[in-house]
Structure 1
Amino acid sequence: MRRAFIPLSLGLALLAFGAAALPLPRDALWLVVRSCIVAQDTFGNPFPCLKVDAGQGAGPGYAIVRAPDRSTHVILTPIVHIPGIESPELLREDAGAYWRAAFEARRYVVESAGGRIRERDVGLALNSMDTRSQDQLHIHAECFRPNVLATLRASAPPPNAGWGRLRATLEGEPYLLRTLTRAELDATNLFALLAAMPGAGGDPSRSKALLIEVGDLLVLAATRSSRRSIESLLDHGCARTLKQG
């Protein structure tokens, strides 16, 4: 029965998740993840995922998937079903591992661009419950539009300053931002930070967020506005990033 499930699930996953021009079912990503887990367990190859990590010790497992729209766009997602940022299990301390693994996954973006971009030009993005297209938690790793990076880097507050307001807007939306050290990324659950940001009231469901590198520091930016997907800030294919470089 399990062997019969493998070609069927892989076929459905590739059909659903690979047809970028078509509207995707909201469970397409979860179907892909399930297929990758079976493929990894059975063949030792996580295809169609780039990687499946079962987790170590208390660390949660995750999969890395190449998005269907651009080769430089990768997605990190849990190997258990977690609908999205509103899921209460993300407030547990170990859930911060998803952000750390996504941060490391930036190397796949650099590799896909033939090494012509720097990891510091690759950021992470997470949609709110209202703006996501898939009901499986996923963190995007992709190049960010150069003007977005420049705005955030110029406005980065000092470490330990907490949340501050971005003077400019991004795509007409107001953002709050705070600076983190690498040590804080290693020790902190960013989902919990988003739940505690001003205006969230412990409910992160309407928050969308991004994480970028600024020298030796990181900037976490978030908004409660739901006018558009956080992906509008990405430079899909890294075209603008490559042109600027």
Structure 2
Amino acid sequence: MRRAAILLSLGLGLLAFGAAALPLPRDALWLVVRSCIVAQNTIGSPFPCLKVDAGRGAEPGYAIVRAPDRSTHIIVTPLVHIAGVESPKVLRDGAGAYWRAAFAARRYVIESAGGRIGESAVGLALNSMDTRSQDQLHIHAECFRPDVMAALRADRVPPGSGWHPVRAVIDRERYLARAVSRDDLASGNLFEVVATLPGAGGDLSRSKVLLVEAGDHFILAATRSSRRSIENLLDHGCSRTLKQG
């Protein structure tokens, strides 16, 4: 009976999240996470996730999932139900762990690309409440389109200088960007940084967020126009990135 329950749980997760050609219910990712937790706790395997980390101390747990559309498209999501960026939970102590987990998960993107790209080619992205397709907080780790990478790095935003307009229009939207240090990522909470976006007033619900490596620091970019999904900025399969390299 217990084995049957496990298999049923796994099956539901795969059916909900793996059928990429079908419209996915908005709780599909959460069903997958629950399946992974059951599998990890009962048979010692996170399948269908790549990894389940229970967390430690103030650091919350997370799951790493390979998205059904491309092998290089990696998703990091909490082990608890958090609907999205609008949740007050993202501003609590420890929520920065989700960004750190996504940053570490870049290795799965690199491995899936056959090791032919470097870490700096992989960015992190987060949709707003209006542009996401799943009602479970998740951060994308994937290659960005080369033109998006170039646009974000071109302005050379100096560390400690606050938010600056990105000169280039990215996917028909205007972004603001600021530099964040490796220490900010390692010990801080980038959700709190995004909450300081001019005009946001601490409201993250409309914020769409990008993070890219830029030498010895990172560029954090965000927009509150949120008309288009972050998916438009991703280079699924890293095909354009590989061609450029």
State whether TM-score is above 0.5.
yes
Instruction: Say which SS state the counterpart of residue 94 (structure 2) adopts.
Output: helix
Structure 2 match to 1:100: 100
**Number of residue equivalences:** 245
Show structure 2 runs of 5+ residues with no match. Answer: none
Identity of aligned residues (%): 75
Instruction: Say which SS state the counterpart of residue 64 (structure 2) adopts.
Output: strand
Show structure 1 runs of 5+ residues with no match. Answer: none
Higher mean Cα deviation, 30-39 or 190-199?
190-199
- Structure 1 stretches of at least 4 aligned residues deviating more than 4 Å after TM superposition: none
Shift of 1:16: 1.3
Instruction: Say which SS state the counterpart of residue 93 (structure 1) adopts.
Output: coil
TM-score w.r.t. structure 2 length?
0.98
> For each residue in 1:42-76, what CA deviation from the matched residue of structure 2 results, as whole angstroms up to 9, or x when unmatched?
11110000000000111100000000000000000
RMSD across aligned positions (CA):
0.9
Instruction: Say which SS state the counterpart of residue 221 (structure 1) adopts.
Output: strand
Q: Which amino acid aligns with 1:81?
A: H
Give the conservation status (yes or no) of the 8 Å contact 2:30–2:81: yes
Q: Which amino acid aligns with 1:232?
A: N
> For each residue in 1:183-230, what CA deviation from the matched residue of structure 2 results, as whole angstroms up to 9, or x when unmatched?
111122111111121010110000000100011110000000121101
1:37-52 equivalences under 5 Å are: 37-52=37-52
**CA separation in 2, counterparts of 1:37 and 1:9?**
10
Structure 2 match to 1:175: 175
**CA separation in 1, counterparts of 2:156 and 2:50?**
33
Structure 2 match to 1:241: 241
Structure 1 match to 2:153: 153
1:1-245 equivalences under 5 Å are: 2-245=2-245
Q: Which amino acid aligns with 1:206?
A: R
Give the conservation status (yes or no) of the 8 Å contact 2:184–2:190: no
**CA separation in 1, counterparts of 2:44 and 2:75?**
21
**CA separation in 2, counterparts of 1:52 and 1:171?**
34
Give the conservation status (yes or no) of the 8 Å contact 1:156–1:178: no
Give the conservation status (yes or no) of the 8 Å contact 2:77–2:138: yes
TM-score w.r.t. structure 1 length?
0.98
Instruction: Say which SS state the counterpart of residue 210 (structure 1) adopts.
Output: strand
Q: Which amino acid aligns with 1:109?
A: V
Shift of 1:2: 4.7
**CA separation in 1, counterparts of 2:21 and 2:119?**
29
